[in-house]
A = this chain, B = another copy of it.
């Protein structure tokens, strides 16, 4: 919704309408308006048995006809006598605004616009689309699309799409930003007997976007998992707020495409080259508790598994009649970071009595085992409180009767989550079909079963995280705002040097002692006050790579200050004869400490994306960095620091003292607030920040900023 309120929209009428108008219905075979009316009117017929639902009224709208099939046809929605809850619109794009006006006037609150020819079709379409938004806002319409496939609600048999099939009922809702992809998934799901609760083709998201549907589906009893294919999000901050809340109770699984394109956009600052928009999305997803996937296989493997298993309390057990696939599963478990269950003594004794090849985990009941032995082993393992989930692997050996083996899985599945890996084709068909009816996915590949369980573990770990709200530091905003103005006016591309240090000081981020000198004498005075040695560098908006042109001098002692002053000035003038030179920054040389980088790049969708890493090769070569979207909580900052591999260096290696992590957390939090407070800062780097031993704090040595230009 363009209207950014926190109160939920009531969009239930889209999925459960008592009356539907099909605008653009036609008796002409092959037309979208024809398929739509057929699909929607079969909804009514399908429900005729159910007295309440039988009241659902369907209207066709098309000035050319009086009746289509057995549905009464009206020249316009305005002419329908009764109230209408949902209009599905498939008329040419240019006619849609008029239809919307009529819907609004008639009090139809829910409209699905199938028609294409809007934003996706160029400038004229975009103008037309803004018309739709205006009218929707005027009448408070819940508009789906335009340029979409429509919506499906399997639980009432409503197919308001122009696709030919409706998938089986299930408890996974599927939102797709690509209509064609939704079409493919529906077709595949029918064949694969995969069920959905609701399917929404989001289209251009002119009015209703992913967040509106996520909020609705969060309250929907028929939906256990919200699965999405996204190409972007309309409002990144709202997405994070909504999803972070909802993933505490319902899993949200997202496949986001366009991950690599964004990375190609060149970014101007050092940090920027690492933090592309792709990192922003992944970071936002992670912070909001989204399970992100990169393939269609994973999208549905994970969703279907999460729809019945929300968490795993204990290790993973493997029960198998064939060693090889058992080892494959064990390999995959160890590699993914899941834990193989350690059985308790009772389990081990019972398994020993059962005479299995291995009564530790994985349990190998051997190739000559029959279904009863499988069932007994499964029962023993399911009873062990150390076991959180079971992967039950069966090869089609002669003694195994698969329908019987399937019974055991179905009987025990209430006791412990069981993922069946019945390996075969026709031989395993019967139980596999029965599993599907109970919402259980069978895998041929044990590695896929493990991956799905890993997704469950990841979801449940993120759900259990509790964060305190981000802290707020009192800052003299007035002083800062003046400074920001100054920086912005004078140096639109790069804020650095003394003015930058003042910003940091105001925000409580420690900086070296410094001063700006305009004469050699001034430089000496400042240096005397700071103490020796000092570093000296040019202050000029026109010289970016100061070191490269010889405009930085390090470790300058008292006797060298004046010489350094003139040398720097000379080189600067040589380099940029017409450029502006504001003086020379004399700065304390900070000895010791470990170098880290704290950076920010403002993402168009999510706002400030904060980066942390250890300086030099760790960032440049190993890309050993962590990201979070601001504002940071204390836990966020701590996680950022701990999740880089080079954290070991801060903890101290070979008897070194630990670095002052607490002080570094403080810098991250204050830097985060600075980025939140000033949307004018597009990019910022504290590079390096020197971190000293525990209790001795840190110090930001240099600040670079890219500011928004007017």
User: What residues make up the interface of A, taking CB atoms closer than 8 Å to B?
Assistant: 30, 32, 35, 116, 162, 176-181, 183-185, 187-192, 229, 231, 255, 257-261, 263, 294-297, 321-325, 327-328, 330-332, 334-335, 367, 395-398, 423-429, 444-448, 617, 620-622, 624, 645-646, 648-649, 653
Contact = CB atoms under 8 A, between A and B. Distances in A.
Nearest to A333: B260
A190 B258 contact: no
Given A192-B425, A324-B257, A448 B646 contact: no
29 contacts: A35-B398, A176-B324, A178-B323, A179-B322, A180-B397, A183-B395, A184-B395, A184-B396, A184-B424, A184-B444, A185-B423, A187-B396, A187-B424, A187-B427, A188-B444, A191-B425, A231-B324, A255-B328, A259-B331, A259-B335, A260-B330, A260-B331, A261-B331, A295-B332, A617-B648, A617-B649, A620-B648, A621-B645, A622-B624
Contacts of A185: 423
A159 to B, nearest CB: 15
Contact of A296 (B260, B426, B446, B649): B446
B325 A180 contact: yes
B397 A330 contact: no
B332 A294 contact: yes
Contact of A188 (B323, B425, B621): B425
Given A180-B325, A184-B444, A296-B328, 13 more contacts: A178-B324, A179-B367, A187-B424, A187-B426, A188-B423, A191-B429, A259-B331, A260-B330, A295-B332, A297-B445, A617-B653, A622-B622, A622-B646
A429 B295 CA distance: 22
Contact of A183 (B180, B397, B446): B397
A548 to B, nearest CB: 10
A349 B666 CA distance: 58
Nearest to A325: B181
Contact of A260 (B176, B324, B335, B447): B335
A199 to B, nearest CB: 14
A192 B327 CA distance: 24
Contacts of A428: 187
B184 A322 contact: yes
B447 A296 contact: yes
Nearest to A616: B653
Contacts of A327: 231, 257-258, 261
Contact of A297 (B330, B447, B621, B646): B447
A137 B611 CA distance: 66
Nearest to A655: B548
Q: 5 closest Cβ contacts across the A-B interface?
A: A191-B425, A178-B324, A180-B322, A184-B423, A187-B424
A325 B295 contact: no
Query: What's the number of copies of this chain in the assembled complex?
Result: 2
Chain B CB within 10 Å — which of A35, A622, A645, A653 has the most? A622
A425 B190 contact: yes
Contacts of A621: 645-646, 648-649
Contacts of A296: 328, 444-447
A485 B335 CA distance: 42
B322 A425 contact: no
A187 B257 contact: no
A187 to B, nearest CB: 4
A189 B646 contact: no
A30 to B, nearest CB: 7
B260 A178 contact: no
A183 to B, nearest CB: 5
Given A257-B327, A297-B448, A324-B229, A425 B646 contact: no
A393 to B, nearest CB: 9
Contacts of A396: 183-184, 187
Nearest to A162: B398
A330 B261 CA distance: 9
Contacts of A192: 425
Contact of A295 (B176, B255, B261, B447): B447
Contacts of A258: 327, 331
Nearest to A191: B425
A270 to B, nearest CB: 14
Chain B CB within 10 Å — which of A188, A258, A324 has the most? A324
Given A187-B426, A191-B426, A331-B260, A321 B180 contact: yes
B330 A395 contact: no
Nearest to A653: B617
B322 A178 contact: yes
A447 to B, nearest CB: 4
A178 B323 CA distance: 7
Nearest to A184: B423
A175 to B, nearest CB: 12
Contacts of A448: 295, 297
Nearest to A190: B425
A648 B617 CA distance: 9
Nearest to A167: B425
Contacts of A423: 181, 184-185, 187-188
Contact of A331 (B183, B257, B322): B257
